[in-house]
Amino acid sequence: MPQQDKNAIRPFHVNVPEEEIAELKNRIKATRWPEKETVLDQSQGVQLATSQELARYWANEYDWRKIEARINSFPHFLTEIDGLDFHFIHVRSKHENAMPILIAHGWPGSIVEQMKLIEPLTNPTAHGGSASDAFHVVIPSMPGYGYSGKPTTTGWDPKRIARAYGELMTRLGYEKYVAQGGDWGAIVVDFMAVQECKGLIGLHTNMPGVIPADVDAAIWSGNPLPSGLSDEEKKACAQVVENKFYYAFLMGTRPQTLIGLSDSPVGLAAFLIDHDWKSYDLISRAFDGQKEGLSRDDILDNITHFWFTNSGISAARLYWENKSSFFGLKTAQGIKLPVAVSVFPDELYEAPKSWAEKAYPNLIHYNKLPKGGHFAAWEQPEFMTSELRTAFKSLR
């Protein structure tokens, strides 16, 4: 294949066949249920009542075509990088001097998680901002996720994804740009900075990897924490321990065993919503009739996206690829670029400013938000939009 064809950027459109939607509903209705948990809380995992209400709504009321139309309202593309097809949304602002930004999702996220940011960032004058706040927005799907290709060989770890994202922005013609990430996306954009990707001038993270190496080692080994930690730093350590991350150990060691994620939609749903206990509370309340943050449709849009792309296991392999360091919560090494940090109260841990200043020597913005959790762009897009406008103002 000629080199110019390999680098081609091809338009992409989503259209799930009607028979696949019908099959999904049939599979949901055919779910074989376990008995109710023997506790009154979530300590045994996703509660039966939550799963059954999710399934009832999914099979009888949820409409995939709404989110499909929303997805297709933005320009989508595919391009081959390092032998793999990368899918991405690319929306250019109408405003002159808009700043290009790459927004990187993680697990169990997808482009669905990030789409609420597109219009406020690209068209700020219609969303409480000024023309000087405008961004050109690029949102890639991670390898093995969504409409990107599924790796058939090993080696697609966060460092390799970071190089691919840098190549994507170069291929799109952006000579200067910024990057934002949460979850795995935060780890990837950190590596983009470490690698000094061409054109990258700054980062924003809502899951900063700032835990000092000695503290991180103590947390995971169960050894006593180093002396001299502040109350805020001790609280952050306790929050990490509290979350346990059992889902990550499963995916990090035996992803292929999770074949139920490809076979059972309700099994997939239960696994995807059991990320951390605060996020689970946020999600479960939506199926308990409460209207705060994420809606039932928000949650099922993402789960259904995983189902139709059959990406439960291919996405899980990212944890296996990164099992040597497992999480990206410890201090990133060698980031010289300007970095902005937003701390949401229901994140996996609330990163202390003292650690952020050490991890990111060129810290240009640090702010604690009053509301929001791990999926901040999805749950609190107004706060995230404001944070990105403020964080990168000095870099324009």
Torsion over CA of 120, 176, 363 and 393, rounded to 10 degrees?
-40
The residue among 237, 258, 251, 225 whose CA lies nearest residue 350 is 237
Residue pair 363/332 in contact by the 8 Å Cβ criterion: no
- Tell me, yes or no, if 204 is annotated catalytic: no
Rounded CA gap, 25 and 29, in Å?
6
Give the active site residue among 165, 319, 349, 360.
Answer: 319
Give the active site residue among 76, 105, 275, 374.
Answer: 374
Rounded CA gap, 386 and 381, in Å?
8
Residue 135's H or E segment, with its range, is strand 135-140
**What tokens does 317 get?**
């392999």
Rounded CA gap, 188 and 370, in Å?
26
- Tell me, yes or no, if 90 is annotated catalytic: no
Rounded CA gap, 159 and 164, in Å?
9
Give the active site residue among 136, 165, 174, 183.
Answer: 183
- Tell me, yes or no, if 319 is annotated catalytic: yes
The residue among 70, 72, 69, 90 whose CA lies nearest residue 9 is 90
Rounded CA gap, 78 and 181, in Å?
21
Active site positions, annotated: 183, 319, 374
